[in-house]
Amino acid sequence: MDKLIINGPNTLSGTVSISSAKNACLPILAATILFPQDITFNKLPNLSDISFFVQILESLGAGTEGDLDKKTIYSARIDKTTADYDLVRKMRASILVLGPLLSRFKEAKVSLPGGCAIGSRPVDIHLSGLEKMGAEITIEKGYVHAKTNGLKGADISLAFPSVGATENLMMAAVWAEGITTLDNAAREPEIVDLANFLIQFGTKVEGAGSKQIKIHGRALKDYKNVESNEYQIIGDRIEAATYVIAGLMTNSDIRVQDFSPQHISAVLDTLTEMGAKLEIDENGVRTLPSGKLKGTNIDTAPFPGFPTDAQAQLMALMGVSECSSKVSEHIFENRFMHVPELVRMGMDIKLDGGSAIISGVDSLECAPVMCTDLRASAALILSGLVAEGETHISRIYHLDRGYEKLFEKFLALGAKIQRVKA
């Protein structure tokens, strides 16, 4: 198992290019199940979550060719509708195969994802939506088993704008008879990317990015291969937010590019309010040395609110800002696992129910720390960049799930960072 050693404090410089968004790739890979033709992706991020998802598609019978830099999926060959526990347990997002399998094959059996470190993460909203569309769902021996004589378009109002449920229902609706209307749908940029993918492959989708999405179902027998079978996925807004915060925490001049800053406007607005000097254009953000920032209060919320996935990273920045800050987490019940590790590095953070109160400190000390989940790990890297001395960060397999070439990217920005065998 590898670990990272960061020698701080660091000043960064140069440009970092953002990879394709993991959270857009996963639903779009699931959506390839819908369309029985070759589909090619350029630059899928080299992440363990993406490799797992490709393995799930292969286990269903899909053919795949090429490496993640140019990957072709042939889903015409899919002949199984069961996603096994052994693969699903590695990644909760596997539940995203349920909607497309059911839509195309009228049957799907997917191991029920367990909880994960940040919360219990049920799938009731996914399942009740599919039931409204005419699926019969049973839970047997840890598997969700869904069957239908043919899905029908339905009007579905989501109890919460769940990202995964919105994606699953959009995909289920593609071969349903009639129009499916999703109200209180998630509005994240990854939803819009999935809609654009479905549209490229001939589906009529209206309203993605708003609270109401309409998917016009059609008959699978009428499907004709589309000529343009290459799809480019959007840049990863959470990876981008992480590097922007890294630039500010280290008081550095760096450019973070190849993503849409509009996708993180809540983060950029918060940083600006804290006193960050940012130059924002269509394709990226430049951080300018901004000195010590001021504290502020944030509440995580569904898009366009402040993303829960950038909460830990912002908290690391707040930990070395002036005055006090407050972070209230409203999406996941257990998303403060980075707090004890940050405190070990000298931060002053107190938990109060679903909130964390952060009093900025002048400097951080190095300490051995441990990754607990993907974004918590990013907060430790950011803190390691500013702490005095050698910070040893273990269990970095969490980072390999979601940050492509993190070590190489920070090294290229001039960070004193090593990746060693633990």
Looking at the annotation, which residues are catalytic? 116
Instruction: Compose the 294-333 pattern: x for residues touching ligand UD1 by CB under 6 A, - for all others.
Output: --------------xx---------------------xx-
Question: What is the smallest separation between the CB atom of 221 and ligand UD1, expressed in angstroms?
Answer: 31
Element (H, E) at 147: strand 143-147
Instruction: Compose the 163-182 pattern: x for residues touching ligand UD1 by CB under 6 A, - for all others.
Output: xxx-----------------
The interface region with ligand UD1, picked from 114-122, 169-177, 203-211, 254-262 by CB under 6 A, is 114-122
Question: What is the smallest separation between the CB atom of 26 and ligand UD1, expressed in angstroms?
Answer: 5
Residues 332-391, interacting with ligand UD1 (CB under 6 A): 332
- Supply the DSSP symbol for 320: T
Q: Which residue carries 């004193």 as its tokens?
A: 416
Say if strands 348-352 and 13-17 run parallel, antiparallel, or are unpaired. unpaired
Residues 33-52, interacting with ligand UD1 (CB under 6 A): none
Among residues 15, 7, 5, which one has the least CA distance to residue 412? 15
Q: Check residue 119 for interaction with ligand UD1 (CB under 6 A).
A: yes
Comparing CB distances to ligand UD1, the nearer of 118 and 386 is: 118
Binding ligand UD1 (rule: CB under 6 A), the pick from 19, 32, 162, 313 is 162
In the chain, the amino acid numbered 71 is: K
Binding ligand UD1 (rule: CB under 6 A), the pick from 160, 204, 225, 281 is 160
CA 412 – CA 251 distance, rounded (Å): 17
Comparing CB distances to ligand UD1, the nearer of 52 and 74 is: 52
Binding ligand UD1 (rule: CB under 6 A), the pick from 56, 60, 78, 125 is 125
Binding ligand UD1 (rule: CB under 6 A), the pick from 16, 18, 25, 26 is 26
Question: What is the smallest separation between the CB atom of 166 and ligand UD1, expressed in angstroms?
Answer: 8
Comparing CB distances to ligand UD1, the nearer of 156 and 417 is: 156
Instruction: Compose the 255-284 pattern: x for residues touching ligand UD1 by CB under 6 A, - for all others.
Output: ------------------------------
Binding ligand UD1 (rule: CB under 6 A), the pick from 123, 173, 256, 312 is 123
CA 120 – CA 114 distance, rounded (Å): 7
Comparing CB distances to ligand UD1, the nearer of 93 and 146 is: 93
3-class SS of residue 345: coil
Question: What is the smallest separation between the CB atom of 333 and ligand UD1, expressed in angstroms?
Answer: 7
Question: What is the smallest separation between the CB atom of 190 and ligand UD1, expressed in angstroms?
Answer: 6
Q: Check residue 203 for interaction with ligand UD1 (CB under 6 A).
A: no
Comparing CB distances to ligand UD1, the nearer of 125 and 205 is: 125
Q: What are the strands, taking DSSP E only, across 55-135?
A: 63-65, 70-74, 82-83, 107-111
CA 58 – CA 175 distance, rounded (Å): 22
CA 82 – CA 101 distance, rounded (Å): 9
Q: Check residue 121 for interaction with ligand UD1 (CB under 6 A).
A: yes
Q: Which residue has the closest beta carbon to ligand UD1?
A: 164
Question: What is the smallest separation between the CB atom of 355 and ligand UD1, expressed in angstroms?
Answer: 16
* Measured CA angle at 189 (ends 334, 229), to 5 deg: 125
**Which segments of 201-260 does DSSP mark as H helices, in order?**
237-249
CA 346 – CA 355 distance, rounded (Å): 19
Among residues 245, 213, 252, which one has the least CA distance to residue 315? 245
Question: What is the smallest separation between the CB atom of 120 and ligand UD1, expressed in angstroms?
Answer: 6
Q: Check residue 122 for interaction with ligand UD1 (CB under 6 A).
A: yes
* Measured CA angle at 358 (ends 354, 359), to 5 deg: 155
Residues 221-240, interacting with ligand UD1 (CB under 6 A): none
The interface region with ligand UD1, picked from 118-126, 131-139, 193-201, 286-294 by CB under 6 A, is 118-126
Cis omega (within 30 of 0) on the bond before 9? yes
Q: Check residue 94 for interaction with ligand UD1 (CB under 6 A).
A: no
CA 100 – CA 82 distance, rounded (Å): 12
Question: What is the smallest separation between the CB atom of 67 and ligand UD1, expressed in angstroms?
Answer: 22
**Residue 365 near residue 388, CB atoms below 8 Å:** yes
Residue 389, number of CB atoms within 10 A of its CB: 13
Residues in CB range of 338: below 8 A, 6 or more apart: 312, 315, 316, 372, 375, 376, 377, 379, 380
Task: Give the rounded distance of the alpha carbon of 141 from its chain centre.
Answer: 29
Residue 221, judged by CB atoms within 10 A of its CB (0-12, 13-18, 19+), counts as: exposed
Tokens standing for 90? 């590695």
Q: Which residues bind ligand UD1 (CB under 6 A)?
A: 23, 26, 93, 119, 121-126, 160, 162-165, 190, 308-309, 331-332
